[in-house]
Chain A
Amino acid sequence: MPEIIDVVEALLFASDTPVEASRIQEVLDLESPAVARELVETLRRRLDAEGRALQVMEVGGGFRLVTRPEIAPWLVKLARSRTRSRLSRPSLETLAIIGYRQPVSRPEVDAIRGVNSDAVLENLLERRMIRIAGRKESPGRPFLYETTREFLVAFGLRDLADLPKVEGELIVPELAETAAAQLTEPGPEHEETTAADDPAEQDPGSGGDRVTASS
């Protein structure tokens, strides 16, 4: 019989989308999402301790098993031509606006950018960074756009609360650094402190009990 922690590892390996704590709870028949989260943390520590090529990452409201950045050079070689095309500056700025103001309509995006954003929005829709959230009840009933889970995954964000606070013209460095540090030094101790620092961020998908407990 495999250990339960091995099953968790297999779940993360097999899924093509981030696996939520609640989903692990469901599959493994656990008491609560918190227990599932504990198991993932154990797995994370194990992978880190063994210095494995894989690591657990919390993105888009779930967990993913991904390679460590140090492995990238070989993976690039393996994939040969497969280079991910980066988003252009207009696309990133548009995404920034939608990230903060969602759901937001095209006229609003245009007003902030000072130029027409039609083509950029279409590109972002195609890349599934955004999706249509409905229509605004204003003249012309324009579409409203919001960011997707793919957006969170692509930028390595746990949820929208991971977006940095912008004050004046500057990004408040503290938050941005935490997010970056989580990426570059996935030390087990560091991860633990991050998880303990903000209990409210646990499992935004479900786990309502935890959220209400902390607020």
Chain B
Amino acid sequence: MSEQETTTQGAVQDSGITVRVESFVGPLDLLLHLCRTNEMDLSRLSLRAITDQYLAHLEAVRFQDLETAGSFMVMAATLIYLKSKLLLPANPDDPDELLDDEGELLKRELEERLREYARVKAFGTWLAEREAEQALIYGRTTAELPPPEDIPLEDLSVHLLQRAMQRLIEDQKRRVPRQVEPNPLSVLERMSEMVELLRSTWSLLFSSVAGPERIRAEWVVTLLALLELVRLGEARARQAELFGEIVIERNAVSVREPARVIEDTFEEAPPQSDPLPRGERDAEDLNA
């Protein structure tokens, strides 16, 4: 089971000092680290300094999954929002960090969360020390399975069972060596697939076209194909929220034949020979 640990290697250049980037468990962890290295009081955050440093670190952070990346970005957005408020002080006579009521509330909330996280972290460290001490002590190990009274049957739901089963299946899958197909993904192919799909339906989801496995090559090619279709006026794309699902719709105005679209593209831009390897799942289930 992969913990949501975000590891980073490398260093960040910040105001002339090279800071080694540690591994950060989450945005609060990173923020706390910055406060500590700046010897900053957690109840008096200096937003200007912290925002710049946070953003500088962010570039060096390598994210494990989209969700973790998202949580780092939300924090970045909050900081930028607060900093932007500082640029337009509520009271122009006072150049000091002055926020309006909403900003002040947001800042205080952030500080409280940071303090709470600092406590949790301290306690986590304490637990780690205890664990290390206990590792030196041997006793009878408890039974492999918990006593029956510890298994609350009423809490076992179909949902949990399904999750366990799914995990088993995924574990099995992982053992199968990956098949690498020689065909490179092509933006043009993906475009015609999407046009084809849009012929029979009004709208489709980006993720359904790109495949659920989140293979980078698939996503990049699909995005390029989508942008190209939008440019040609064949489709429209909407994204309601940051990192949200992209809904692709047929452009009602377009009267051109799908086949023509592809030909046009051929003339306008020669097909890119895409060096990206073809992913596991391909268009066949989409065409089906």
What is the CA–CA distance of A116 and B66 in the complex, to the nearest angstrom? 11
> Of the candidates B118, B134, B146, B150, which one forms a contact with A155 in the assembled complex, judged by CB atoms under 8 Å apart?
B134
What is the CA–CA distance of A72 and B133 in the complex, to the nearest angstrom? 11
Q: Check B131 for interface membership: any CB of A closer than 8 A.
A: yes
Q: Check A179 for interface membership: any CB of B closer than 8 A.
A: yes
Residues of B within 8 A of A123 (CB): 1, 3
Supposing A93-B120, A168-B115 touch, asked if A113 and B137 sit within 8 A by C-beta, the answer is no
Q: Check B202 for interface membership: any CB of A closer than 8 A.
A: no
What is the CA–CA distance of A176 and B139 in the complex, to the nearest angstrom? 23
Residues of B within 8 A of A176 (CB): 126
Contact of A96 with B142 in the complex, beta carbons under 8 Å: no
Q: Check B49 for interface membership: any CB of A closer than 8 A.
A: no
Q: Check A185 for interface membership: any CB of B closer than 8 A.
A: no
Contact of A156 with B135 in the complex, beta carbons under 8 Å: no
What is the CA–CA distance of A156 and B128 in the complex, to the nearest angstrom? 12
Contact of A114 with B4 in the complex, beta carbons under 8 Å: no
Residues of A within 8 A of B122 (CB): 166, 169-171
Contact of B127 with A69 in the complex, beta carbons under 8 Å: no
Contact of B4 with A115 in the complex, beta carbons under 8 Å: yes
Contact of B142 with A16 in the complex, beta carbons under 8 Å: yes
Residues of A within 8 A of B75 (CB): 114
A184 CB to nearest chain B CB (Å): 7
What is the CA–CA distance of A113 and B29 in the complex, to the nearest angstrom? 8
Contact of B137 with A57 in the complex, beta carbons under 8 Å: yes
Supposing A69-B137, A156-B137 touch, asked if A89 and B123 sit within 8 A by C-beta, the answer is no
Q: Check B216 for interface membership: any CB of A closer than 8 A.
A: no
Contact of A116 with B71 in the complex, beta carbons under 8 Å: yes
Contact of A169 with B5 in the complex, beta carbons under 8 Å: no
Residues of B within 8 A of A67 (CB): 137-139
Q: Check A161 for interface membership: any CB of B closer than 8 A.
A: no
B133 CB to nearest chain A CB (Å): 5
Of the 9-residue stretches B20-28, B53-61, B81-89, B223-231, which lies at the interface with chain A? Answer: B20-28
Number of interface residues of B (CB under 8 A): 49
- B122 and chain A: residue at smallest CB distance: A171
Contact of B123 with A156 in the complex, beta carbons under 8 Å: no
Residues of A within 8 A of B130 (CB): 155-157, 179-180
What is the CA–CA distance of A164 and B119 in the complex, to the nearest angstrom? 11
What is the CA–CA distance of A25 and B249 in the complex, to the nearest angstrom? 74
B32 CB to nearest chain A CB (Å): 9
What is the CA–CA distance of A128 and B143 in the complex, to the nearest angstrom? 12
- B31 and chain A: residue at smallest CB distance: A114
Supposing A16-B142, A99-B123 touch, asked if A119 and B116 sit within 8 A by C-beta, the answer is no
Contact mask for chain A residues 54-81; partner B; CB cutoff 8 A; 1 contact, 0 none: 0001000000111111011001000000
Residues of A within 8 A of B124 (CB): 89, 92-93, 95-96
What is the CA–CA distance of A86 and B131 in the complex, to the nearest angstrom? 8
B189 CB to nearest chain A CB (Å): 35
Residues of B within 8 A of A120 (CB): 3-4
Which residues of chain B from 12 to 39 have any CB-CB distance to chain A below 8 Å in the complex?
25-29
Q: Check A84 for interface membership: any CB of B closer than 8 A.
A: yes
Contact mask for chain B residues 137-157; partner A; CB cutoff 8 A; 1 contact, 0 none: 111111100100010100100
A48 CB to nearest chain B CB (Å): 15
B147 CB to nearest chain A CB (Å): 8
Contact of A164 with B126 in the complex, beta carbons under 8 Å: yes
A160 CB to nearest chain B CB (Å): 13
Supposing A16-B143, A113-B25 touch, asked if A155 and B71 sit within 8 A by C-beta, the answer is no
- A155 and chain B: residue at smallest CB distance: B130
Supposing A114-B27, A114-B117, A115-B68 touch, asked if A92 and B138 sit within 8 A by C-beta, the answer is no
Contact of B133 with A184 in the complex, beta carbons under 8 Å: yes
What is the CA–CA distance of A95 and B128 in the complex, to the nearest angstrom? 11
Residues of A within 8 A of B132 (CB): 86
What is the CA–CA distance of A117 and B117 in the complex, to the nearest angstrom? 14
Residues of A within 8 A of B118 (CB): 169
23 pairs of residues in contact across A and B, judged by CB atoms under 8 Å: A16-B143, A65-B139, A65-B140, A67-B139, A69-B133, A69-B137, A72-B138, A86-B135, A92-B131, A93-B124, A95-B127, A116-B4, A122-B1, A123-B1, A123-B3, A148-B150, A150-B142, A157-B130, A168-B115, A169-B42, A169-B118, A180-B133, A183-B134
Sorted nearest first, the 6 A-B pairs with minimum C-beta distance are: A115-B26, A66-B139, A69-B136, A96-B123, A72-B136, A114-B28
